[in-house]
Amino acid sequence: METIAISETCSPVDLVSRIRAGDRQAEAELVERYSRGVMIIIRREVHDAAVAEDIYQETFRIGLGKIRQGDVREPGRLSGFICGVARNLVIDYFRRAARQESMTEIEEAAHLPHPASDQLQELLRKEKASLVRQVLKEMPNERDIHVLYRFYIADDEKEQICADLGLTSLDFNRVLHRARERFRELYKRAMRDK
């Protein structure tokens, strides 16, 4: 959970006009600014890391190209424009994949993990699980643990969980908020200690 510092003074309109004027620094700022969000959007649909990385690169290549050419009609809505480019590329990827005669081959090829990255992922997975255990251990009652399991594992609706466990909406929000905040705190501490 690294946070990249973003120049808050630069508005999207300024950023677009600087890129159009050929400012290379502005281009780097744009990539830095939208990097995490674009990756989240792509990874939500594309589970293969290598494919996601390609789409991510392509998003910024196309996005910057269009900005340079002055194809962004509403510079104030730069976020919407970047999201749109990413989404279209994701859709295009799935369309191309669907056209392939054998989806299985693509999936099999796409899921070949890199050994080093796999080890790192495994390490992170264990780390997160350990922190979650810590959060669960600290929870004041089993009902709250039950809330978390039902909401995050079983994907039950909030209203249903509240009705079943006799919780108000506020109670429910509080349980989630506390658990998440505690987890964040522990995660930060763990990262700091390393």
Partner 1 sequence: MEHSYIEDHHIADRYLSGKLSIEERLRFEEHFVDCQECLDRLQTIDDFRAGLRTVAAEEATQLRTYLSVGQAGMLARIALLARRRQAPLLAATILLIALPMALLIPEWMSARRELAQAMQESSEWRRKYEESERAARDLVKEMQTRERESSLQLERLAAQFGPMRNSPDPAPRQSHKAAERQSETPVFALSVVRGSGPDPSQPVNRITLPPQSKSIILWLELEPDPNFHSYRVAISTTDSRSIWTKDGLKPNSKNALALSFNSSLFKPGDYLLTLEGISAQEGRTPVATYTFRALTR
Q: Which is nearer to partner 1, 109 or 143 (CB)?
A: 143
Which of 76, 4, 70 has its CA nearest to residue 39? 4
Does 184 help bind partner 1 (rule: CB under 8 A)?
yes
Query: From CA 83, how far away is CA 167, in angstroms rounded?
Result: 37
Q: Are 1 and 187 in contact (CB under 8 A)?
A: yes
Q: Which is nearer to partner 1, 20 or 36 (CB)?
A: 36
Assigned token pair, 177: 């908020």
Assigned token pair, 175: 């349980």
Restricting to residues 32-91, name those near partner 1 by CB under 8 A.
Answer: 33-34, 36-38, 40-41, 44, 77-80, 82-83, 87
CA angle (51 as vertex; 32, 111 as ends), nearest 5: 135
Shortest Å, Cβ 112 to partner 1: 21
List interacting residues with partner 1 (CB under 8 A): 1, 3, 6, 12, 33-34, 36-38, 40-41, 44, 77-80, 82-83, 87, 125-126, 128-133, 135-136, 142, 145-146, 148-155, 158, 173, 176-177, 179-180, 183-184, 187
